[in-house]
């Protein structure tokens, strides 16, 4: 799947194409809500709630990695991660205000997607080894001892700050596409459907049962780790 077209150069006929499956959309907006919830629960000192939200976020990210390996076409890393040259070329088009329609993530956005997933994964893993400096230890803190647990706690805090910056850039990029290129990326991430050049073919969607299976596998891994480690 390497479908893209620049506006003005392509056929002007358009049609609605389903670009994002339900699992990707649910993953995205649930992740946003859980991230907000985990921030609020940490601020309020509700560490038990914070832990459960962290397990849920780790489950989601593990699910998304599995879905990126064997899920729907637009969800697959092999489909949307391209070389840095393609990303730079796409950014060049954006700066020249040349709209490039694509089925799925563009080559530059792909790196932001990878960065966000990696950061959230790092955030949850460091969280598992952290402590609150007083009474509470996360489930894996005993495996590394107090000094290392303190170090993980520091990294957990730093990586949250980096996530805030990355999310701000992510949302700024989405706004930039809307303002500079009149390209609405949010609507497809909500509804699944995008208006694209008629020549584009719809991407192949993986079955929902596979998403449920991957989610159960991800949840089982997290449950086993926090229960038995």
Residues that bind ligand HEM (CB under 6 A): 24, 27-28, 31-32, 35, 64, 75, 105, 109, 113, 116-117, 120, 167, 170-171, 174, 185-186, 189
Cβ atoms within 10 Å, residue 113: 17
State the nearest-atom distance from the C-beta of 23 to ligand HEM, in Å. 9
Complex with ligand HEM: residue 10 or 57, whichever CB lies closer: 57
CA R_g for the chain = 20
Distance of CA 171 to the CA centre of its chain: 12
For residues 105 and 113, the answer to whether their CB atoms sit within 8 Å is yes
Q: DSSP of 128-174, one letter per residue?
A: HT-B-SSS-B-TTHHHHHHHHHHHHHHHHHHHHHHHHHHHHHHHHHH
Q: Indicate the length of the chain as a whole number.
A: 229
Complex with ligand HEM: residue 99 or 144, whichever CB lies closer: 99
Complex with ligand HEM: residue 190 or 199, whichever CB lies closer: 190
State the nearest-atom distance from the C-beta of 167 to ligand HEM, in Å. 4
Q: Which helix (H) or strand (E) holds 181?
A: helix 141-181
Q: How far apart are CA 166 and CA 105, in angstroms?
A: 17
Cβ atoms within 10 Å, residue 8: 8
State the nearest-atom distance from the C-beta of 139 to ligand HEM, in Å. 23
Complex with ligand HEM: residue 113 or 181, whichever CB lies closer: 113
State the nearest-atom distance from the C-beta of 228 to ligand HEM, in Å. 29
State the nearest-atom distance from the C-beta of 145 to ligand HEM, in Å. 31
Complex with ligand HEM: residue 185 or 210, whichever CB lies closer: 185
Q: Return the SS3 of 102.
A: strand
State the nearest-atom distance from the C-beta of 137 to ligand HEM, in Å. 26
- Please, what is the Cα angle at 7 between 3 and 10, to 5 degrees? 60
Complex with ligand HEM: residue 185 or 202, whichever CB lies closer: 185
């Amino acid at each position: 799947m390497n479908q893209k077209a620049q506006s003005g150069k392509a056929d002007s006929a358009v049609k609605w194409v389903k670009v994002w499956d339900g699992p990707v959309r649910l993953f995205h907006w649930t992740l946003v809500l859980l991230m907000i919830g985990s921030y609020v629960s940490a601020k309020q000192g509700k560490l038990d709630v914070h832990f459960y939200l962290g397990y849920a976020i780790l489950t989601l990210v593990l699910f998304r990695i599995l879905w990126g390996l064997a899920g729907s076409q637009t969800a697959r890393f092999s489909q949307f991660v391209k070389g840095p040259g393609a990303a730079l070329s796409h950014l060049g088009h954006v700066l020249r205000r040349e709209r490039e329609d694509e089925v799925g993530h563009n080559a530059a956005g792909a790196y932001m997607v990878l960065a966000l997933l990696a950061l959230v994964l790092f955030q949850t893993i460091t969280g598992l080894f952290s402590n609150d400096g007083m009474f509470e230890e996360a489930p894996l803190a005993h495996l590394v001892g107090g000094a290392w647990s303190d170090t993980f706690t520091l990294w957990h805090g730093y990586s949250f700050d980096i996530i805030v910056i990355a999310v701000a850039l992510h949302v700024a990029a989405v706004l930039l596409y809307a303002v500079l290129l009149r390209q609405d990326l949010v609507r497809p991430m909500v509804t699944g459907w995008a208006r694209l050049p008629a020549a584009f073919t719809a991407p192949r969607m993986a079955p929902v049962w596979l998403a449920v299976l991957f989610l159960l596998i991800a949840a089982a891994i997290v449950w086993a780790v926090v229960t038995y480690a």
